[in-house]
Amino acid sequence: MKPVLTAADLERLPEGGEVTVTRETLITPLARDEAERRGITLRIVSSHEREGSGVASGAPEQSEESGRAVAIGADHGGFELKEQLKGYLRDWGYKALDLGTDSTAAVDYPDFAEAVANAVSRGEARLGVVVDSSGIGSSIAANKVAGARAALCYDRATARSSREHNDANVLSLGAKLISLEAAREILAIWLSTPFAGGRHQRRVDKIRSIEEHGTKKQ
């Protein structure tokens, strides 16, 4: 999988600093803007040069989901963004499992959110992405599926927190509320952020417990 450099990776660098990345690194538009704004130099080298120099790349470590399938689905309001995100997933080395819709003709978002959440719950995909106009409805629908933990994310902080603290396995995006560049940045951070475990594991376990109790009552 190709490494990805996001604006979040530049936050720890001082103004006027330098970060070394390989030619294979995908640099998000927001990362380029952040580097220009803060005078950070992006030094691009070959993989061989980086290994020989001992200089660490500013790109995040490849995620443990590298090479696994990511299920993605959208209603008509999220169709165009879905198509763009599919391309990014493939560029980054993921297998995009497209579960529809296939046009801008009006459809119902719960159908596609359920399909993505089921794919994740059944293990057909390690992670999932759902898109509609606001992202709200799809996140609600996906969370009705046992085993799915869908998070509506709208910036870098929510993307990172949902994975690091909540072990979210479905990302929900609102196509009409964020730009394509922001969606790409959010997706890149979300995919590359691992679950922190520790005290957060106890809390995720309690979420699972609530889910199990609710299932038993049905």
Summarize pLDDT for 50-79 with one digit per residue, the tens: 444 433 333 334 334 333 799 999 999 999
* Active-site annotation holder among 48, 165, 200, 213: 165
Q: Would you tell me the crossing angle of helices 180-192 and 29-38 to the nearest 10 degrees?
A: 90
> How far is 130 from 63, CA to CA, in rounded Å?
20
CA distances from 53 to 25, 26, 40, 171 (A): 17, 21, 19, 37
56 burial level (CB within 10 Å; 0-12, 13-18, 19+)? exposed
**Per-residue model confidence (pLDDT) at position 54:** 38
How does pLDDT run across 138-164, given as a tens digit for each residue? Answer: 999 999 999 999 999 999 999 999 999
Q: 106 with 126: CB under 8 angstroms?
A: no
CATH number of 69-192: 3.40.1400.10
Query: 92 pLDDT exceeds 60?
Result: yes
Predicted model pTM: 0.75
Query: 209 pLDDT exceeds 70?
Result: yes
Write out the residue limits of the CATH 3.40.1400.10 domain(s) in the chain.
69-192
Mean pLDDT to the nearest integer, 179-188 = 94
Question: For this structure, is 165 an active site residue?
Answer: yes
